[in-house]
């Protein structure tokens, strides 16, 4: 599966892909879009891309780069 294909999935199907095919890499706090506070979650490796999943499972953000590569692992 490519990142482009993943982006077209419904939220529920994204969660299923992460659950069954994702590899948990670790915790990650992502800056909120409003600024200020950070949103806790996890980073998963999925196929050839990475996915941020918030702790409440409401935010799923795929990325071509691993945000944990900056020495946060």
Within-domain flag for 73: no
Within-domain flag for 72: no
Q: How confident is the model at residue 63 (pLDDT cuts 50, 70, 90)?
A: very high
Domain count, the chain: 1
5-24 residue pLDDT tens:
999 999 999 999 999 999 99
- Domain extent, residue 21, equals 3-67
In this structure, what DSSP letter does residue 68 have? G
Question: HSE-up of 50 (CA within 13 Å, CB side)?
Answer: 17
Q: What's phi and psi for 55, nearest 5 deg?
A: -60, -35
Query: 4 or 38, which is more confident?
Result: 4
Within-domain flag for 24: yes
Question: HSE-up of 13 (CA within 13 Å, CB side)?
Answer: 7
Give the model's pLDDT for residue 70: 67
Within-domain flag for 51: yes
Within-domain flag for 36: yes
Q: What's phi and psi for 39, nearest 5 deg?
A: -105, 120
> With the CA atoms of 12, 14, 18 and 19 taken in that order, what torsion angle do they form, in degrees rounded to the nearest 10?
20
Within-domain flag for 48: yes
């Amino acid at each position: 599966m490519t990142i482009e294909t993943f982006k077209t999935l419904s939220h529920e199907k994204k969660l299923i892909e992460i659950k069954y095919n994702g590899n948990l890499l670790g915790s990650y706090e992502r800056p909120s879009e409003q600024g200020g506070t950070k949103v806790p979650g996890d980073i998963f490796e999925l196929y050839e891309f990475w996915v941020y999943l918030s702790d409440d499972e409401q935010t799923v953000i795929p990325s071509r780069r691993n945000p944990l590569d900056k020495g946060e692992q």
